[in-house]
Amino acid sequence: MAYEKSIAAFEEAYKVIPGGVDSPVRAFSGVEGTPPFIERGEGGYLCDIDGNRYIDFVQSWGPLIFGHCDADIEAAVMDAVKKGLSFGAPTTVETALAEEIVTLFESIDKVRFVSSGTEAVMSAIRLARGFTGRDDIVKFTGCYHGHSDSLLVQAGSGAATFGNPSSPGVPADLTKHTLLATYNDIESVKQCFADSKEGIACVIIEPIAGNMGLVPADESFLQELRTLCDAHGTLLIFDEVMSGFRASLKGAQGITSVKPDMVTLGKVIGAGMPVGAFGASAEIMAHLSPEGPVYQAGTLSGNPVAMSAGLASLKKLKANPAVYVELGNRAKKLMEGFKKAADAVNVPMVTDVRGSMFGFFFSDKPVKNFADAMENDQKMFAKFHKGMLDRGIYLACSSFETGFISAATTDAMIDDAIKAAYETLKEIQ
């Protein structure tokens, strides 16, 4: 494929945008080549400014469960736009979307909308601290919860350590209350509780981790985590910004029996528009302003256009829950095909699927945590990504990201992607 226009566009963007992109992973620094500059989306496809068309397994990093330019969602957005882009005032569509979420998530009585996943998590943690009167929190190495200061920490040595800032500009004083544990390792969490002098306000986890590749939490681990939090009066937060309405109609909570105290959401509830949300029991949410003392606000929170897009998406999902079976079957078919293609040329690969989410690692052992993910052959992934892109297959441009199937992804597209995987892996070997 030719990428001349995208290369020129990237060079031009670099002059006025740091790194040429508005989110670091888009720069293709973890893979080979230059990022294609996208002109439009068509169902299960992306089209770039060079005229290339790709089967899209990124789907805007998850929100587009019905693919690009879904007619029903487009109609809802256009109807909302004609009434006004933003009011900074209450609208009934906020209530309608909140009701859809509350009826599906047992752990949520009330929900507050914000404009991003980062905002949702930042606000949920502030509320957890305000509710418990404690400062310390626990997160897991490899789980990404947005770029707010207290969550931008890197792992130290050992099972559980106090976090150090992983980005300049983040004061150590803001991360000293963030303790790090190892995903799927309950002993590391117990150590965090032992290390905390003042008590832990909350434990936040992606129950289906999607930012170290697709790495689901073990059911037994989540159950032990719930028991541990209950014993210490600590709130358990499920970050379902990615898995909410993706892994199932009820997100990870449609798969695990464990119920969190708080939930953060995003992606699908905006259907491609910037939306985040956090919710909990009425008792916990009563501590949030204006009912309670924990402050949170946002001019564009509950934006009517974004709310309308999300409402249309959730209504379609509730009306046709069987779509999750179709999406899951296609995700399994894709991963089974990739695995067979890798086996055919003796390349180690492990795969996993949760609903319409899929992931693969060039590794010869199961991936249970971030340390395992780091052993993934990143050079092989980079070559594979470039070969697939050249064959019209658009995969996430990092070995630590999750892929997504949309309702617009057909069996023929899956077959084409599997064929491309065979050709690419054979060419690499």
Active site (annotated) includes residue 70: no
Q: Give alpha helix (H) positions in 29-157.
A: 71-83, 92-104, 117-132
Whether residue 24 contacts residue 230, with contact meaning beta carbons closer than 8 Å, is answered with no
Active site (annotated) includes residue 267: yes
Name the token pair of 126.
């502030």
Q: Of residues 45, 54, 144, 394, which has the active-site annotation? A: 144
Q: Of residues 110, 139, 267, 333, which has the active-site annotation? A: 267
Q: Of residues 239, 261, 352, 372, which has the active-site annotation? A: 239
DSSP letters of 251-303?
Answer: GGGGT-S---SEEEE-GGGGBTB--EEEEE-HHHHTTBTTTSSB----TTTT-
Residue 24's SS3 state is: helix
Residue 217's SS3 state is: coil
Q: Which residue has the tokens 């050992």?
A: 158
Residue 420: half-sphere exposure toward Cβ, Cα within 13 Å: 23
The one-letter code for the residue type at 410 is T
DSSP letters of 324-369?
Answer: HHHHHHHHHHHHHHHHHHHHHTT---EEEEETTEEEEES-SS---S
Whether residue 404 contacts residue 59, with contact meaning beta carbons closer than 8 Å, is answered with yes
Residue 94's SS3 state is: helix
| Percentages (nearest 5) of helix, strand, coil residues in the chain | 40, 20, 40
CA distances from 423 to 216, 331, 347, 399 (A): 29, 20, 13, 19
DSSP letters of 233-251?
Answer: TPEEEEEETTTTTTTSTTG
Active site (annotated) includes residue 144: yes
Strand duo 53-56 + 393-394: pairing: parallel
Distance from CA of residue 414 to its chain's centroid? 22
Catalytic residues: 144, 239, 267
